[in-house]
Amino acid sequence: MKTFCFLGLALFFVAFLFIPKISSALDPFSDNFQRADSATVGNGWEEIEDAGISASIVNGEVLIKGTETADWVRDGIARNVNDISSISFDFLCNDQFNVHIRIDDTNAKGYLEIYTWPGGVFNHANSVDGGWPGWVEITGSQSIADKYNTLMIEKVSANKYQLKHNGSAIGAALENAGISNINRIQLSSDSAVGTVGSLHFDNVIIDGGTTSAVKPSAKLSTVWGEIKRL
């Protein structure tokens, strides 16, 4: 009997070793922000708000708005994730504030940050060690003012990340040996001190999560933006 029990436990242990790994994060994940207006974003998001700036839910979107009290401080939303391969989101950038997305490997210290201004070209800051590398323009890229844009960062191979704008790749894939496990994402705004403005985020999709939000192409570009700005 003892031998039988021992063999049973041994077989259970071996089988346990071969159980597929289950991620502890909520990936795939999506958020269409279709919930009641609120001063907090909710659904696991962290609000990053400098004095004078708020991040809230307004009309089924994240609205960043206010007056900058310091130069180039990031304000927006962030969340911890677990070894994701892609993130996409919609943004409307037509009211003074710049738009940023940053992905981090907080263990290896590498990060990749993308930014643009209303109607501007996209730039990247690609750091392998957490230091500031400076902005590099992505040749041939162009955001669209007064319309919703869709931006995506996708891992295409080990340590290589492709940026896509409205479904099309822009620039070459960016290599970063300091990012092996994307475990934090941040969507944010910035501007010079004293700037009054706003920025809209919608339809965040991580690793192919599904969302039933209104598609950007179905939104009235200028009119919708004006209605939702304040």
Mean pLDDT of 130-146: 96
Is residue 126's pLDDT more than 90? yes
CA distance 65 to 68: 9
High-pLDDT (> 90) share of the chain, %: 77
Better-scored residue on pLDDT, 99 or 211: 99
34 within some domain: yes
* 190, part of any domain: yes
* Chain Cα centroid distance, residue 215: 17
Segment 183-205, tens digit of pLDDT: 999 999 999 999 999 999 999 99
- Is residue 159 over pLDDT 80? yes
Kindly state whether residue 15 falls inside one of the protein's structural domains.
no
Q: What is the pLDDT of residue 6?
A: 42
> What pLDDT sits at residue 220?
45
* pLDDT over 80 (residue 118): yes
- Whether 12 maps to a domain, the answer reads no
Cα–Cα nearest to 137, from 172, 189, 97: 172
In angstroms, rounded to a whole number, what is the distance separating the alpha carbons of residues 141 and 105?
26
Query: Is residue 218 very low, low, confident or very high in pLDDT (cuts 50, 70, 90)?
Result: low
Joined tokens for residue 141: 């890229």
Whole-angstrom distance, CA of residue 126 vs CA of residue 171? 13
At 1, the pLDDT band (50, 70, 90 cuts) reads: very low
Dihedral-angle region of residue 153 (phi above 0 means left; psi in -120 to 50 means alpha; beta otherwise): beta
State the average pLDDT for the chain. 86
Quote the distance between the C-alpha of residue 201 and its chain's center: 10
Q: Which CATH number fits the domain that encloses residue 198?
A: 2.60.120.200
Q: Is the pLDDT of residue 90 over 50?
A: yes
Number of helical (H) and strand (E) elements in the chain, helices listed first: 2, 15
CB 161 within 8 A of CB 176: yes
Q: Is residue 8 part of a domain?
A: no
pLDDT interval class at 26 (50, 70, 90): low
Full domain range(s) for residue 77? 26-229
Considering the domain boundaries, does residue 154 fall inside one?
Answer: yes
Q: What is the pLDDT of residues 27-85, one digit of tens each?
A: 699 999 999 999 999 999 999 999 899 999 999 999 999 999 999 999 999 999 999 99
Tell me the C-alpha to C-alpha distance, in Å, between residue 190 and each of 118, 123, 169, 178: 12, 14, 25, 25
Residue 208: what pLDDT?
Answer: 86
Q: Where do the H-state alpha helices sit in the chain?
A: 2-17, 221-229
4 part of a folded domain: no
DSSP letter at 38 equals B
Residue 125, token pair as written in the block: 């800051």
Q: Calculate mean pLDDT across residues 143-166.
A: 96
Phi, psi of 30 (to 5 degrees): -145, 155
Whole-angstrom Cα distance, residue 160 to residue 176? 6
Q: Is residue 7 part of a domain?
A: no
**Whether pLDDT at 144 is above 70:** yes
Q: How many structural domains are present in the chain?
A: 1
pLDDT for 210: 66
pLDDT of residue 212: 56
Other beta carbons less than 10 A from residue 22's beta carbon: 5
| One-character DSSP codes across 177-205 | TT-SSEEEEEEEEE--TT-EEEEEEEEEE
